[in-house]
Amino acid sequence: MPVAPRLLAALACATVLSPAAAQTSTETELRRLTQENLDAIAPGRVEVWQRNAHERLVHVDENGIARNKADFLAELKPLPAGPGGSLAIDRFAVTDLGDTAAVTHEDLETLDYHGQTLRSRWRQTDTWVRGGDGWKLVGEQVLALQTDPPTVALTSAQLCGYNGTYRLTDKIRATLRCDTGVLIGEREGRAPTSYRAEIADVFFAPGQPRTRRIFQRDAQGRIVGFVDRREGLDIRWTRVK
C-alpha cells in the first residue's frame, strides 16, 4: 500500500475510539464535572451550576423537595460565617448510553462546625445529556446515607424494666427480654432482634437507622407500651404483662 493511503488509514483508526475508551473518556469528564459541582456547593458558586446544569434540570434534595433550575440556583448560597465544609467523590459509576449517561456516586462530606468535625456520606443519582455545548446535568436525586447513632449504657435494672409481652393485635404479640446490655425482641415466625439504647426509652436495631423503638410511660412512670417509629410514622404496641 502506498504511504499516503496507509497514513490515511492509520489516522482514521486513531480517531475512532473503542467502546472501552469512549466509556473511560465519558467517565473522566463526568467525574470532573460532578466534582466541580460539589466544590461549588459550600461557597455557593451559582455560576458553576448555571454552566453545568441543563435548563430543564430537576433536582430532588435529601428532604424530598423537587426544584427546577431557577429554584435550585436561588437556594444555592454560601455557608454562613463559622462553618466550613467540603465534599469529595468516594465512589463513582457511569452507565454510558451515548448522548445520555446515568451516574451514581457516593460522596464524603467533612464539615467543620465551630470547631467540631462532622463526617457524613451522601449518595446521588445523576442523569446527564450531551449536546453541542457538552454534557449537562438534567436530573439529580440526593440521599443521605444514614448510620447507627451512638449508644448509652443502661443499668441492668433499667434495661430489664422493659421486659414483657407487648400486643399489636389479638394474634400478633412480641416479647422483650434483657441480655448483657441489649434488649432481645422475639416474635413468632421471625428471628430474634437485638436492640440498643440510644437514650433511655429510645432503642434501635443495629443496621436499621431509619427506625426507633420508643417506649411509652403513664403518669406514674410505668411502661405501658412502645411505638415503632419509621420516618415519623408510628406503629403502636401495648404492654400486656
Residue 131 sits in a domain whose CATH number is 3.10.450.50
- 8 Å CB contact between 82 and 42: no
Residue 1 falls inside a structural domain: no
Long-range contacts at 28-37 (CB < 8 A, ≥ 24 apart): 29/135, 30/94, 30/101, 30/103, 30/126, 30/128, 30/135, 31/89, 31/92, 33/128, 33/135, 33/137, 34/89, 34/92, 34/103, 34/105, 34/126, 35/88, 35/89, 37/137
158 phi-psi bin (left φ>0, alpha ψ -120 to 50, beta other):
alpha
Q: For the chain, what is the domain count?
A: 2
Torsion angles phi and psi, residue 150, rounded to 5: -65, 155
Mind listing the pLDDT tens digit of every residue in the chain (241 residues)?
Answer: 454 544 444 434 444 445 556 667 999 999 999 999 999 999 999 999 999 999 999 999 999 999 999 999 999 999 898 888 999 999 999 999 999 999 999 999 999 999 999 999 999 999 999 999 999 999 999 999 999 999 999 999 999 999 999 999 999 999 999 999 999 999 999 999 999 999 999 999 999 999 999 999 999 999 999 999 999 999 999 999 8
Q: Both 106 and 40 in a single domain?
A: yes
Last residue of a domain, one of 145, 180, 207: 145
Identify the domain containing residue 34 by its residue range. Answer: 12-145
Q: Both 114 and 195 in a single domain?
A: no
How far is Cα 129 from Cα 116, in angstroms, rounded to an integer? 39
Q: Both 96 and 169 in a single domain?
A: no
Residue 6 falls inside a structural domain: no
Q: Both 95 and 197 in a single domain?
A: no
Q: Both 141 and 180 in a single domain?
A: no
- 8 Å CB contact between 30 and 125: no
